[in-house]
Structure 1
Amino acid sequence: MNRETMMERVRAEMPEKRWIHTLGVMETAVQLAERFGADAEKAERAAILHDVAKYWPTSRMELIIREKGLPGELLLYDKELWHAPVGAVVAESDYGVADIEVLDAIRYHTSGREQMTLLDKVVCLADYMEPGRAFPGVERIRELAEVSLDEALLAGFDSTIGFLLAKGKRIFPLTVAARNDLILKIREAEQWQ
């Protein structure tokens, strides 16, 4: 599927405000990819599709989680997580995306994971810091992203975890694992400096 057709179809799946967010994620993902050496075309494709299922009814997302054998533990956590793995399934089945790197970047853009790929990090961070985002700490994330993908992403996960703790919500284990993995990578990098 060509880029324009994909964009038209994705735009039809969401309200205008979310489409503007998607455009911001696309632009930011390309910038981050170019800055840190990721594939900008793959970053843009994943960004276009990252929220394709965000506004689907939870019953529709739950059905896909169950039917496609996605991790059942997703259903025990906040429904805000569901659209990412469901979106990866939809990107493959409805939009013809076969590239596992792009699918994984969509799949893990909300939770992160251990051993995140460069593309995973770029798309996840772009979602955190696109120009339309305005939350406490986003400017610091943007500043860190000028020099360190890992440190900026760590600040993003810290922000999410802090928010969830303040709301008394459960924290998805992959997010904790992703954060811990980033800390190890940052410490290892510091030892070699």
Structure 2
Amino acid sequence: MVYSREALIEAVSTQMPAKRWKHTLGVMESSIQLAEQYGADPERAETAAILHDVAKYWPVERMKEIIEQNHLNLNLLKHDKQLWHSEVGAFVAEQDYGITDPDILNAIRFHTSGREDMSLLEKIVCLADYIEPGRDFPGVDKIRKLAKESLEEGLVAGFDSTISLLLEKRRVIFPLTVLARNDLVRILEDKI
């Protein structure tokens, strides 16, 4: 069964607190704006944005079970639980909501970590998650400014912010995030 936009919104909004749904609305808005600016399909960007945090507030045990039983990225289980909802969200988008577009599924799957060779849609949703209007953290204004000039510049600044925070807190850094950042830096260097 394929859900309409309205049915998706209804189904997803009931799975999170009102504050997180407000964040999702901001990511939807930012995804559409970035898609229009950078030549992606705004409808696909919005669909990925609606679903990007669908599993965010699920119990950790439930996410772990889904990852294990469905042989998803088991490596995630060795890392911060905050990363799990992206993998589970992509699985749920496909299994429960009928999303079959691999680019939308990957935009959901990699919106927290990034990865090498990110597609245009993946970059848009990941960056929208950093810059949506409700976000308020040190450096967000710089990331928003860079996002108006370049998806890659905005994402590098976003990943740098995340990595710096993790370093300050002496936390493990998910390898895909480092690989994503380095890949984007190489892309930017090649443009010079």
TM-score (norm 2): 0.98
Query: Which residue, 119, 122, 138 being the options, matches 1:120?
Result: 122
Q: Equivalent residue of 1:51, what SS?
A: coil
RMSD: 0.5
Counterpart in the other structure of 2:149: 147
Q: CA deviation at 1:84?
A: 0.2
Task: Give the Cα–Cα distance (whole angstroms) in 2 for the partners of residues 171 and 142 of structure 1.
Answer: 23
Q: Equivalent residue of 1:54, what SS?
A: coil
Task: Give the Cα–Cα distance (whole angstroms) in 1 for the partners of residues 67 and 181 of structure 2.
Answer: 25
Q: Equivalent residue of 1:183, what SS?
A: helix
Structure-to-structure mapping, 1:86-165, within 5 angstroms:
86-165=88-167
Moved over 4 A (4+): none
8 Å CA contact 2:32–2:42 kept in 1: the answer is yes
CA shift digits 1:137-169 (9 cap, x unpaired): 000000001111100000000000001111111
What amino acid sits opposite 1:180 in the alignment?
N
Task: Give the Cα–Cα distance (whole angstroms) in 2 for the partners of residues 175 and 106 of structure 1.
Answer: 15
Structure-to-structure mapping, 1:63-82, within 5 angstroms:
63-82=65-84
What amino acid sits opposite 1:107 in the alignment?
R
Structure 2: gaps of 5 or more residues: none
Task: Give the Cα–Cα distance (whole angstroms) in 2 for the partners of residues 187 and 157 of structure 1.
Answer: 17
Task: Give the Cα–Cα distance (whole angstroms) in 2 for the partners of residues 63 and 143 of structure 1.
Answer: 40
Task: Give the Cα–Cα distance (whole angstroms) in 2 for the partners of residues 67 and 111 of structure 1.
Answer: 22
Task: Give the Cα–Cα distance (whole angstroms) in 2 for the partners of residues 14 and 95 of structure 1.
Answer: 16
Task: Give the Cα–Cα distance (whole angstroms) in 2 for the partners of residues 172 and 70 of structure 1.
Answer: 16
CA shift digits 1:7-36 (9 cap, x unpaired): 000000000000000000000000000001
What amino acid sits opposite 1:28 in the alignment?
S
Task: Give the Cα–Cα distance (whole angstroms) in 1 for the partners of residues 70 and 187 of structure 2.
Answer: 33
What amino acid sits opposite 1:77 in the alignment?
H
Counterpart in the other structure of 2:178: 176
Q: CA deviation at 1:73?
A: 1.2
8 Å CA contact 2:73–2:87 kept in 1: the answer is no
Task: Give the Cα–Cα distance (whole angstroms) in 1 for the partners of residues 67 and 165 of structure 2.
Answer: 26
Structure 1: gaps of 5 or more residues: none
Q: Equivalent residue of 2:138, what SS?
A: coil
Identity percentage of aligned residues: 62
Q: CA deviation at 1:38?
A: 1.0
Q: CA deviation at 1:39?
A: 1.1
